[in-house]
């Protein structure tokens, strides 16, 4: 990446218009002008509305529903920026939805996250900024630099007021989340428990086989990178209750909330579920026990650091 | 591409299940087993259900609505086949929808067809089979071989019985279609007329400014590569009528028919609109004046030629 | 592309020495020092005569006769500039001669324009500037940005004084030129006519089968992207005359004029044929009815915009 | 990959001579002739001793000490095979040592596993066969197919006779190993416990902060993908003892055993540590409580399947 | 490269029609049908006249005058073969003329041989067969396999009858040729002498500063890889004469003989200059003291070995 | 490469700590902070200790013993710098040890220098600075720019005081070194002699078959690019003595001095062997007749020129 440009250009993708506005407000810049169209035949078309020649461009687009439309839109914008002679294009992808497809855990499947990484690079992307990837190894799917941010620093102040060392436990709803939960546990000085999840096939429901570690008599903070239907969180919370846990809080970086999930989350024994605004579109009004903390400042800081070539590393909590 | 395999494997994508079955029936093989899932968060997942190690695989998927979902599905299948050690993967894409995005006709847009070509190649595709590309130059967007088929040989017998030399004219509804229409005109020995279309921005309606060439007192055959809403065809037909044309027929390789178009097409002064089955999904029942001629035999022949390393060139009408 | 450099470096290729001088005069810079040698065994050798480390270099070379020598010279200069650590290399190719090879219009031929694009990119080119490509899709053969200029803005003032709305017609000598002619027709507010050309094989003569559209009693302006022998223009002009056209003018961006063409062009019923200086070398003295308008200002402006990172898009007439 | 060759060629790298011989014995072929030299200046040189033109070549080399010498040797052999016109080259890398470098878990480090993957692909490898990668995501660092084998099927029969459902527990010595341990636990029908490891910087010692899950009164089977000094295994075993565990067994796919580790492992409260022969060179005689089970049959089966284009998937236990 | 094909296809390039016929005669196959055209505007066009789908194709084209036309023709044929779905394309380039451009021996020049290698690979070549490269390192400019043949085995029988151990010397006309001459010297058991050449700039004349080694009273065999004007050979021969050498013979793999060189070579004190038919086109009748030995059998053998996947290495004399 | 950065960052690799310090002293900058670790299992780990975002980074690492460890360390640092968003990474490799592997001089070997070049480029290097490559063609193995320095300018002042025109001879210990020796001979105005070396296989000893050229009664300066055991130099010196040479000096850019070579070099009839500090680590104390002249100023100048985008070419002596 070459030297900083005079002016900072941040363009909003279809799926991250509010977040981009919030980021721009923090950085006191106007969002870039661009236009996305989705035609009746299903084709996506994009057009950049201002000169970007020689500029360092940031394009913000999360991979929320409709994921594939949003992904293709990123590719087309990268191409449009590059063909319009931008100096560099940074794709800011708050929620990299296809991170779930990070391995061949059964025969003859695709490693979808690598396919997406290859497409982004084929389109000409110069850098990725993202948050709470499903696995940190996904950075290695890219040859271009990835700035991998974490939601922890922005949710920490909130939980700092609530979580107490002596009678809390941080709970991983899945062995895969154990490492992430470890970070939260260390930050708050509490022990870890792990829920052993049993998932059948690729359907999204899962059940809890066993809680490993002590939770009885403790308040619990369940931590994960994302939730779609809330299913795993709810199943974990219910099991924690049965195992004698007291108040149950939860936090995920990315709250998708598929159709029909709102009522179930509201009805679950979860006192508060804290998420970020990495995903904007939701099918239904937010459940009452869900609280959003904006990640705009986190992304604004990262973009500012990248633009001014200062270190981003102090943003990493682990 | 290496030597022919013993067994021919043809897998159906989500958007071309009927066409694949028809092709397989012609070639007397069973469609390959594979499974596509679209999760509630918008992610696509694919799984190949049988051993493909060392095989030459054909994957059939048209780019009809929802185009982006179908496109990503192709990428994931290619990756799944390659990681499962297929010898080669041929993507059969009857309608390459993003062919419309074949040039930078205004500043700071993407050449979307090239982006798609690069993604297919990044995913590992070895060959493309497609039909009636929006522009023949699109073959050049690919480094891998492209077998470019035309609908003309399969609709020709139908029109041969109808079109007569002396009082017919082949009409291009757009200067861009002039070359294609030329092929039909030569085939049937009739003159060409061209409708000068005026399109505003990227909306899909268009109006006819002028008909270049004589149409008065002649039956007309309008020819184009695709229609979405039928708008251009209808406008052209109406104008032809006003200019004194007699019966009006039309043919396009790819009939998409967006929402609300059926009634308008039925009401238009088009006696018969002949399309192929390159696009399967339609939002509404087919208009009564539309006739489908299956391209299955065309694709079956091409696949057979590729598999047995015989020449595909005799399928090209021009 | 990185930030602008202090000094603008423009190097002349063997085939564009005059044009480069004219461009440099406009931009008030001295042409860069470089040396091309063509040895008696047929090998080309190039040497850059001044420091280019960290500079943005422009190399101007049109693909006129001898095309392949000139093309290889471009490749070697790009390599020499890159290995000498230039920051970026822009190849300014006023006439991209191999643009004609833009599709597989018969079996087992090469898409030569794509081969050339791949070679330029393999040699390390960072950007292309060219004029009136044979097809706009050729931009998509490149992954690097292409600034595609048009001769129209520089010939427009000349014809503005001549062409009148009410009794003129813009004529495409070929259906392939219809889109280009459309641009001229709109600019001057005149109707379009299209000549249906019949070409046999790859020999360069062609005959006119039919003129589509009204030309009788009108002055005609034939427009095309290039002419080699003048054959198509002459055949079209003669046919227009027979169809009752009055004065016939013609304009092409690129006038090659192969051996023996001068006398035939002079003898043709073409009052004036306007070309640019995109091609310098000609086998014979210019025909008397040919007028050259220099494209130097057009290229100078584009280079200036690229160098100063301002928008080039206002140069696009369409 | 193209069609199977008549003859199967398996070449032994410097670090896997015994394993290659064992594999070849199972497949009844003679190991290929090749020669590696390590000169006094530290350079590695390789030479293939027989014709490989048009053959499918397997090269077996584990990444044991000296890892970098062995890695460079793989690259040079791949290049030698490809330049000698082998049809395909499969690198069989039983222990992919740099798998530990699979993420950027601190600022400004390399993702070494991706660097290695890129080098292998740059050298021209066509396929990788490996065993118990540190993280399954590493498959996604490669664009070429990876056949990822697991030691579980070959150690399972041994432990089947020992491990009983009711009073055993499978122990992950680290949250990162939790997923792997899960597989063993399911196989033997026992619960899981996880040791929370605290590691300081990049030194190899680690201490156990806490055991999550019940181990008191149970026999324990510690499972991990590799051990270098035995440190983590020993620390875990000692802590398990303190927490009341009964007999402690352990198994890792890859036993490296650095200098000085043998005595410490022998002295540890580990009744038996089962490893495979994926790593050959050891600095000292094997500790008495270590048992080696050969993975030769596993690799032989995989190579046989690849060579004959049958499915490898049934070798995957998970 | 995949398995051998049933039929061997060898196509003649414009510059190697005779050699291709000779090779085909030896292998008892008919040359492939193809057609090259060079248009009056300087463009090259190629067309393959028969089905090559799934075939292993050999295309024979030497880089003699006009070198750049011939080189571009190779690129276009490779592209045409690949887009026509050939299984593999081997470019047989008897004289790789740009081999002279193998290093940056002055600032800001191109490494032209690498540029050519990259273009061949960008066009899709799968393998190169060539003879007596200017430097053996040029093989390393290619990622694809190169079969590098030497003329020595075919000229050896001829000189075997002439050269005697005791009173002959092999002479390198240049330090750069010393290694090649070494091979001849060893073959015939004679000592080596080296002519120190002084070359000014890039002009082709050179003068001899000094002969290193004893030549007085000995017959001399001057050996080099190519000669263009004969200048270096003549200057060396004349100097050898002055230093007391007796009969002087010379041999080069590639005899180009630029305009005007024939008379000078005939007049030089060279009893016989032996060349191969790697270069066909010559500007003038052969000098009388030049003898051609055909390399057709050498190339035929190499092609046969490649086609049947047997070792080519026994053809290497060194 | 983009525009110069404010601050110059030079990082020391494990094998070039002293040289880097010396370079930094000359340029008045502090060496960058970084840390390399070599674990007991043989793995290498690297970490950059300061912000490099947007900087032009120079990393100095020679390929001395242990060559492969040092090479992998370069790759990992390049990756670490790039993923940490350095603007560009220049690898300064004073001794490119694998330069010896520059050709396929026997069947089925690797072109190791090309493999290394490909790995460096795959890791993301932007430029190479090196000294006295084994063959100048190796520059062509890289696509990135290579600044190839020569030791001659820094040893010249030393020998200028010793070497006299009339009774000296420059000696190539090998035909391969003839070109290099030519440069020295011209610089000092002395004749050249060449030692014909006979080497058996890949072992490092060699014997002298013959000295070509006059050496009797002359002082000799043997010149080569590197020496490992001193074997070739010693054999040449002894033979020169036998042929009547007077004082014998020698100079090589890279003095490796493998185990046991010190005593042999001291005992040889070589009055002084001048080397540079391109290689730091030596197995034994320096032989008394060896003199080191530092190349730090040479590299400092090159780095300064690159950083400030001034020409490096004046550093080239030839």
Distant-in-sequence, close-in-space partners of F244: CB < 8 Å, separation ≥ 6? F215, F216, F217
Low-confidence ranges of chain D (pLDDT < 70): 1-6, 199-205, 313-318
| Residue A85 forms contact with C (CB below 8 Å) | yes
Smallest CA–CA distance, residue A176 to chain D, in Å, is 7
Considering B197, B246, B259, B288, which one is annotated as catalytic? Answer: B197
Contact F53 A310 (CB under 8 A): yes
Chain C hits for E52, Cβ within 8 Å: 108
| Residue A104 forms contact with D (CB below 8 Å) | yes
Quick one: pLDDT band at residue C105, thresholds 50, 70, 90?
confident
Pairing of strands A44-48, A34-38: antiparallel
Chain A hits for B100, Cβ within 8 Å: 43
Mean pLDDT of A256-271: 95
CB-nearest to D191 from A192, A193, A210 is: A210
Supply C239's token pair.
């046919």
| Residue E112 forms contact with C (CB below 8 Å) | yes
| Residue D128 forms contact with B (CB below 8 Å) | no
Strands (E), chain C: 9-12, 34-38, 44-48, 56-60, 88-93, 127-131, 146-149, 168-172, 192-199, 206-212, 219-227, 248-255, 272-276, 290-293
Contact B39 A228 (CB under 8 A): yes
Using only the alpha carbons of chain D, give its radius of gyration. 20
| Residue B75 forms contact with A (CB below 8 Å) | yes
Contact D313 A192 (CB under 8 A): no
Digit-coded pLDDT (tens) for A46-69? 999 999 999 999 999 999 999 999
How many other C-beta atoms can be found within 10 angstroms of the C-beta atom of residue E214? Answer: 17
Chains C and D touch (3+ CB pairs under 8 A): no
User: What ipTM was reported for this prediction?
Assistant: 0.94
Considering A197, A200, A259, A288, which one is annotated as catalytic? Answer: A197
Chains that touch C (3 or more CB pairs under 8 A): A, B, E, F
CB-nearest to B103 from C104, C136, C178 is: C136
Q: Using omega within 30 degrees of 0 as the cis cutoff, is the peptide bond preceding A66 cis?
A: yes
Q: Provide the pLDDT for residue A119.
A: 98
Quick one: pLDDT band at residue B176, thresholds 50, 70, 90?
confident
Query: Which chain D residue shows the shortest CA-CA distance from B122?
Result: D143
CB-nearest to F51 from A4, A146, A310 is: A310
Digit-coded pLDDT (tens) for F70-109? 999 999 999 999 999 999 999 999 999 999 999 998 999 9
| Residue A6 forms contact with C (CB below 8 Å) | no
- To test the contact with chain E by mutation, choose from C64, C108, C117 the residue with the greatest count of E C-beta atoms within 10 A, namely C108
Strand partners of residue B57? B9, B89
For D15-42, letters b (16+ CB in 10 Å) and e give bbeebbbbbbebbebebbebebebbbbb
Name the strands in the sheet holding B146-149, side by side, starting at the edge strand that comes first in the sequence. Answer: B9-12, B56-60, B88-93, B127-131, B146-149
Q: Provide the pLDDT for residue C1.
A: 35
Among candidates B102, E129, D40, which has minimal Cα distance to F260?
D40
Contact A53 C4 (CB under 8 A): no
- Containing A290, the helix (H) or strand (E) segment is strand A290-293
Chains that touch E (3 or more CB pairs under 8 A): B, C, D, F
CA distance E273 to E291: 6
Contact D176 A176 (CB under 8 A): no
Chain F hits for E137, Cβ within 8 Å: 102-103, 135, 137-138, 140-141
CA distance F317 to F150: 7
Contact indicator for A172, A165 with CB cutoff of 8 Å? no
Query: Which chain A residue shows the shortest CA-CA distance from F121?
Result: A143
Smallest CA–CA distance, residue D112 to chain A, in Å, is 9
Strands (E), chain B: 9-12, 34-38, 44-48, 56-60, 88-93, 127-131, 146-149, 168-172, 192-199, 206-212, 219-227, 248-255, 272-276, 290-293
DSSP-assigned letter for residue D245? -
Chains that touch F (3 or more CB pairs under 8 A): A, C, D, E
DSSP-assigned letter for residue A317? -
Considering F55, F165, F197, F259, which one is annotated as catalytic? Answer: F197
CA distance A232 to A175: 12
Contact indicator for A259, A284 with CB cutoff of 8 Å? yes
CB half-sphere exposure, E143, CA atoms < 13 A:
20
CB-nearest to D79 from F111, F122, F256 is: F111
CA distance E92 to E80: 16
Chain B hits for E51, Cβ within 8 Å: 310-311, 313
Average pLDDT of chain B to the nearest whole number? 92
**DSSP 3-state assignment of A245?**
coil
- pLDDT tens, per residue, chain E with 318 residues: 334 435 789 999 999 999 999 999 999 999 999 999 999 889 999 999 999 999 999 999 999 999 999 999 999 999 999 999 999 999 999 999 999 999 998 999 999 999 999 999 999 999 999 999 999 999 999 999 999 999 999 999 999 999 998 999 999 998 889 889 988 998 999 999 999 887 666 555 678 888 999 999 999 999 999 999 999 999 999 999 999 999 999 999 999 999 999 999 999 999 999 999 999 988 899 999 999 999 999 999 999 999 998 877 655 555
- To test the contact with chain F by mutation, choose from A54, A137, A309 the residue with the greatest count of F C-beta atoms within 10 A, namely A309
Contact E148 F179 (CB under 8 A): no
Contact A124 C145 (CB under 8 A): no
Among candidates C265, C272, C255, C244, which has minimal Cα distance to C169?
C244
Contact A145 F55 (CB under 8 A): no
Q: Give the number of B-C residue pairs with CB atoms closer than 8 Å.
A: 102
What is the percentage of chain C residues whose pLDDT exceeds 70?
Answer: 94
Contact A3 F54 (CB under 8 A): yes
Contact indicator for A142, F83 with CB cutoff of 8 Å? no
CB-nearest to E228 from C40, C75, C109 is: C40
Q: Provide the pLDDT for residue C203.
A: 56
| Residue B135 forms contact with C (CB below 8 Å) | yes
Is residue F316 pLDDT above 60, yes or no? Answer: no
Distant-in-sequence, close-in-space partners of F309: CB < 8 Å, separation ≥ 6? C53, C54, C55, C85, F3, F4
Supply D311's token pair.
């499915």
Average pLDDT of chain C to the nearest whole number? 92
Digit-coded pLDDT (tens) for C162-205? 999 899 999 999 888 988 998 899 899 999 999 988 766 555 56
Q: Provide the pLDDT for residue F200.
A: 62
CA distance A117 to A102: 11
CA torsion, ordered B296, B302, B307, B309, to nearest 10 deg: 160
**Which residues of F, range 251-310, sit inside 8 Å of C by Cβ?**
305-306, 309-310
CA distance C203 to B234: 40
Among candidates A190, A201, A199, A257, which has minimal Cα distance to A223?
A190
- To test the contact with chain E by mutation, choose from B3, B6, B58 the residue with the greatest count of E C-beta atoms within 10 A, namely B3
Smallest CA–CA distance, residue F120 to chain A, in Å, is 14
- To test the contact with chain C by mutation, choose from B128, B175, B183, B314 the residue with the greatest count of C C-beta atoms within 10 A, namely B175
CB-nearest to D2 from E3, E127, E143 is: E3
Chains F and E touch (3+ CB pairs under 8 A): yes
Residue C197 annotated in active site: yes
Contact D2 E4 (CB under 8 A): no
Quick one: pLDDT band at residue A205, thresholds 50, 70, 90?
low
Contact E311 D51 (CB under 8 A): yes
Considering C197, C241, C246, C259, which one is annotated as catalytic? Answer: C197
DSSP-assigned letter for residue B109? B
- To test the contact with chain D by mutation, choose from A200, A206, A212 the residue with the greatest count of D C-beta atoms within 10 A, namely A212
Contact E79 C43 (CB under 8 A): no
Q: Provide the pLDDT for residue E2.
A: 38
Contact A313 D108 (CB under 8 A): yes
């Amino acid at each position: 990446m070459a030297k900083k440009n005079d002016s900072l250009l941040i363009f909003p993708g279809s799926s991250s218009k509010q977040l981009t506005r919030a980021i721009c407000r923090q950085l006191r810049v106007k969002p870039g002008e661009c236009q996305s169209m989705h035609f009746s035949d299903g084709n996506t078309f994009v057009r950049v509305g201002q000169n970007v020649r020689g500029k360092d461009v940031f394009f913000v687009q999360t991979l929320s529903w409709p994921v594939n439309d949003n992904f293709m839109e990123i590719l087309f914008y990268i191409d449009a920026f590059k063909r319009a002679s931008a100096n560099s294009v940074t794709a800011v992808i708050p929620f990299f939805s296809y991170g779930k497809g990070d391995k061949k855990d059964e025969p003859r499947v695709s490693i979808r996250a690598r396919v997406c990484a290859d497409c982004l690079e084929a389109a000409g992307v110069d850098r990725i900024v993202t948050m709470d990837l499903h696995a940190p190894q996904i950075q290695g799917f890219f040859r271009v630099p990835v700035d991998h941010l974490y939601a922890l620093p922005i949710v920490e102040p909130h939980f700092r007021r609530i979580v107490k060392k002596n009678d809390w436990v941080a709970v991983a709803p899945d062995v895969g989340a154990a490492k992430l939960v470890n970070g939260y546990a260390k930050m708050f000085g509490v022990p870890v428990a792990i829920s052993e999840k049993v998932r059948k096939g690729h359907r999204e429901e899962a059940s809890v086989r066993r809680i490993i570690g002590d939770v009885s008599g403790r308040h619990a903070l369940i931590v994960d990178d994302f939730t779609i239907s809330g299913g795993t969180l709810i199943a974990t919370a219910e099991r924690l209750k049965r195992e004698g846990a007291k108040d149950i809080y939860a936090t995920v970086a990315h709250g998708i909330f598929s159709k029909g999930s709102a009522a179930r989350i509201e009805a679950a024994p979860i006192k508060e579920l804290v998420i970020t605004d990495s995903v904007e579109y939701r099918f239904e009004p937010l459940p009452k026990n869900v609280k959003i903390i904006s990640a705009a400042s986190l992304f604004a800081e990262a973009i500012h650091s990248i633009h001014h070539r200062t270190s981003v590393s102090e943003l990493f909590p682990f």
